Structure 1
Amino acid sequence: MEYGLLLPAGQAQLEAGGSAPALVAMAVDAERAGFDSVWVGDSLSRARVEPLTLLTAVAQATQRLTLGTAALLPAYRNPAHAAVTISSLDLISEGRLVLGVGAGFPGFSEQEFELVGVDFKTRFSQLDDTVTLWRELWTGRPDSFHGKVLHYDWLPEVPRPAREGGPPIWLAGITPAALRRAGRLYDGWLPYPPDPVDYANGLATIREVAGARPVTPALFATVFVDDDAERGTQALDEYCRATYQRPLDVIGKIQVMLTGEDVVPMLERFAGVGAEHILLRIAAVDPAVVAGQLGKVAELLSVLRRRLGSESP
């Protein structure tokens, strides 16, 4: 079992007193505290520090952490140029990069896709084509590429990534179509379902499709560590409203949101049905609150490691 931390790189956190250098320092603290990975999100409608840029700085400041995107939206970048950027980051990090990728959300992402000139209706084909193109550029020297939506008669030469074949690519999503695509094409799965039963069923589908091909099962979970469940629930609700402009009652039906005495038992349940890498997002905007929560989350990981029989690195 491995554990990751999402760096709070959104505009709301920056306006509350955060900074890009402080995010790099937080990654260093996370490494010292025993986390296995740090992650950065991606968005155009909700401003944030650009993830590949931030992870480049984190790569230079850390030694062993896996560096991940949760989740990168490849449609917002030129596919061929993104292959160069990602390969360069993998070289700088000496092969520590993992790419969580997604295709946006109905009701949230349409205007972003319009801005970058990508048809929202073909976003899944766009994503799959992009991932296929990246792998071809990272492993060979293709003269052209013709997928479902991407067509290039000329392609640049791309530096070979540090990791043979390029960084692992994990798909975010739990719809039936996403599960089949994860099993067929991707190296890992990074969903955030509230119910461990749904997670177990999704993972079973992925493994059935993937056959002998390994797919890393991960989980994206939002937490606020507090013994007082009422206070923790209020913190989760405030975070949902600040981040999504929607209350916890709505977001909690889509994403796993944990506080109070539920945190450790629920994460154990997800581990019990197959999750192997749990990525934790702290439900706070104020950098001082995030800093306080970081220590509590590190203590929580110690408890989880003991109960699940894994040792801290």
Structure 2
Amino acid sequence: MKLLRFGAPGQERPGILDAHGAIRDLSGVVEDIAGEVLSDAGLDRLRGIDPESLPRVDGDPRLGPCVAGVGKFLGIGLNYADHAAETGMDLPEEPIVFAKATSCIVGPNDDVQMPKTSDKLDWEVELGVIIGTRAKNVSEAEALNHVAGYCVVNDVSERAFQAKRSGQWTKGKSHDGFGPIGPWLVTRDEVPDPQNLAMYTEVNGHRYQDGSTKTMHFGVATIVAHLSEFMTLHPGDVIATGTPPGVGMGLNPRVFLKIGDVMELSVAGLGVQRQTVVRSE
């Protein structure tokens, strides 16, 4: 299934794509794409519904973040062998974990705000993992059973904030608009191998990132199990699992985003995002 949320910011309604790619309104069935709906039992109930029996959503509505009620938005750093190579850094012995503020989460096609003092704004296409059931101290063998599904994430990053402003990476990862999620939550049964997904980023039509989850250093199961050792993962938590090479910081010469630039990002089978860079309020 491909689940989504549509409507104005803060007023999104739950939806599902039918076999023809049309949006069907799920608001008469569930309150939102969140909580218990993300469990295996909740998703099985949705599978029992014929999408074409639901009201069709006409027009071209705004798409919101594909999951609501995100309690934790976690990122994994330097998790692609080829990306680590372009940065000149060694691969870590354990996953590098950082947090993105949940206030940065926006829809897949919403504008990305450039902070007023920014001059090193960068893109990162990532495979997003959405937790479906509580996970605490789970094994790698059990880990994927706690995943509701997958989505595209743009881990937008301000590199000067991240590296030069002291403290954790969170400063460079959390400005408003730095977390486009979606367009869809694709349930895990439709992604049999999360370690074999092509992915790309284009800026103004030029392809900078052209990679695959094959080059992940730590796979999805390892990441979920590892995180569950240190914190309990809850339904709706989102994990951005790292990015392949081709980020602006890794190019020679470096390339950073400017006002008016348009990003297009995709992970195979998970849809396409498009964002325009705008000046922050």
TM-score normalized by the length of structure 1 = 0.25
Greater radius of gyration (CA): 1
Give 1 or 2: higher helix fraction. 1
TM-score normalized by the length of structure 2 = 0.27
Higher relative contact order (CA 8 A, sep 6+): 2
